[in-house]
Amino acid sequence: PTPDCVGCWAAKGGAIVAMDARDGAIRALASAPRYNPSLYAGRVDQGALDRAGLTVARAEALNRPGLNRAIAGLYPAGSTFKPVTALAAMQEHLISPYEPLQCDPVFESYDQKFKNWNSSTNMPMALATALEQSCDTYFYRLGEAFYRLPDDRGQPLQSWASQFGFGKRSGIEIPGESSGLLPTIRWRKATYDTKLDRLWKPGDSIQLAIGQKDLQVTPLQMTRFYAFLANRGRLVTPHLVTAVVRPGTNRSDPVPIRRLPAPPVKPVNVDPTGLEVVRQGLYQATHGTFGTSTAVFGSFPIAIAGKTGTAEMAVPVPGLPPGTLVDQSWWCGYGPVESPELVVCALIENGGHGGTAAAPAALEVFAEYFDVPAEYQLPTSTD
């Protein structure tokens, strides 16, 4: 529980992915709630499976412990998606890296009002600062600019997001991975029946720019994208197996039979200057005066860069009216900043703000990996 989130959270599940930034090797793949795999060993007891929530009858009541949320949980990305929008906008020359845009409390477009998460901010910002403070209205303006592009330009935000791994499986070598949903004009026309619902509207582009509306991603997809940022434009393939071994004898180490090289890294052609500005914004988000997770990472002895996300999602919560939007808490990032080794992405279902739930969880992973203490303060409010 956090003071700024009383009454707006109901955390009871989530996922954390930790991956080697350099080659995509998975270091940790955690999903909660969890179950004891030994329930499937030997003679399977259907009653035990039922009590553990591993049957159709009981899964929903116990929040689906059989779902591997790390690879198959689907969520709006919220503000962790803003670097995608930033890179795409620069690639399409909708904005230059240092061009200021207004960050104000409310952005009005096509007779609709879209609010910034921080109602007290009203100033022009360049891109790195907009990422540091996670200004929604800055990115709403980019979303509108994408919407206003001529039809012959297609939907370049979605095209770049696809190149970064969204809307498709990563290729990890275990079953059950979801491809997520990257909404497009074609998808909307194929999905809905009425003329109004099939229409791609301004709000679709505007809200996609901050990772909301119909977008659905997995924690693994977000981890892969932040590894792309850490690698300065190289997209890795997440993988679990590095070698096939046979047991050693007399307590000796296992003997490798066959080593499996990491899948090849795929370069994506993005402007290196724009990429460095995004990386700078992610560092400011963890170390800047107004960084949304500076309170968590600012004093950590290893320089970490990353981004909070607070994604609204309609979920059934006891005591709340049907359709209530509940915050999904995200934090994704990497470290050390100059030579990244580890990428971590944490998602806390119905967990409140990104800086007060997911960011501290991710910090604990970095602390364990680098073997240093995790000491932090919780921010009072974040996106």
Interval 246-284: pLDDT, tens:
998 888 988 989 999 999 999 999 999 999 999 999 999
Q: Which amino acid makes up residue 109?
A: S
Average pLDDT over residues 64-79: 97
Q: CB under 8 Å to 42, separation ≥6 — which residues?
A: none
Judged against a pLDDT cut of 70, whether residue 4 lies above it is answered with no
User: 83: which 2 tokens?
Assistant: 């670097």
User: Which of 1-15, 101-115, 242-256, 356-370 is least confident?
Assistant: 1-15
Please tell me the predicted confidence (pLDDT) of residue 321: 83
pLDDT at 340 over 90: yes
Burial 158-187 (b: 16+ CB within 10 A, else e): bebbebbbbbeebebeeeebbbbbbbbeee
Instruction: Report the percent of the chain where pLDDT is more than 90.
Output: 89
Read off the pLDDT of residues 15-53 as tens digits, 9 standing for 90 and up.
Answer: 999 999 999 999 999 999 999 999 999 999 999 999 999
Overall average pLDDT of the 356-364 stretch: 97
- At a CB cut-off of 8 Å and minimum separation 6, what does 258 contact? 243, 244
How much is the pLDDT for 8? 56
Q: What is the pTM of this model?
A: 0.94
In the chain, the percentage of residues whose pLDDT exceeds 70 is: 98
As a three-state string, the secondary structure of the chain is CCHHHCCCCCCCCEEEEEEECCCCEEEEEEEECCCCHHHHCCCCCHHHHHHCCCCHHHHCCCCCCCCCHHHHCCECCHHHHHHHHHHHHHHCCCCCCCCCEEECCEEEECCEEEECCCCCCCEEECHHHHHHHCCHHHHHHHHHHHHCCCHHHCCHHHHHHHHCCCCCCCCCCCCCCCCCECCCHHHHHHHCCCHHHHCCCHHHHHHHCCCCCCCEECHHHHHHHHHHHHCCCEECCCECCCEEEECCCCCCCCEEEEECCCCCCEECCCCHHHHHHHHHHHHHHHHCCCCCCHHHHCCCCCCCEEEEEEEEEECCCCCCCCCCEEEEEEEEEEECCCCCCEEEEEEECCCCCHHHHHHHHHHHHHHHHHCCCCCCCCCCCCC
Poorest-confidence range of 188-192, 228-232, 376-380? 376-380
Looking at the predicted structure, is the pLDDT value of residue 3 above 50? no
Q: Return the pLDDT at 276.
A: 98
Q: Give the mean pLDDT of the chain.
A: 94
Alpha-carbon gap, residue 208 to 158, rounded angstroms: 9
Q: Which two tokens stand for residue 145?
A: 């600019």
| Segment 93-103 mean pLDDT | 96
Q: Spell out the residues 6+ positions from residue 122 whose beta carbon is closer than 8 angstroms to its own.
A: 102, 103, 104, 105
The size of the chain, in residues, is 383
Q: What is the mean pLDDT of residues 346-360?
A: 95
What is the pLDDT averaged over residues 109-130?
A: 96
Give dist(CA 360, CA 166) in Å, integer.
Answer: 26
Res. 128 pLDDT band, cuts 50 70 90: very high
pLDDT (0 to 100) of residue 7:
47
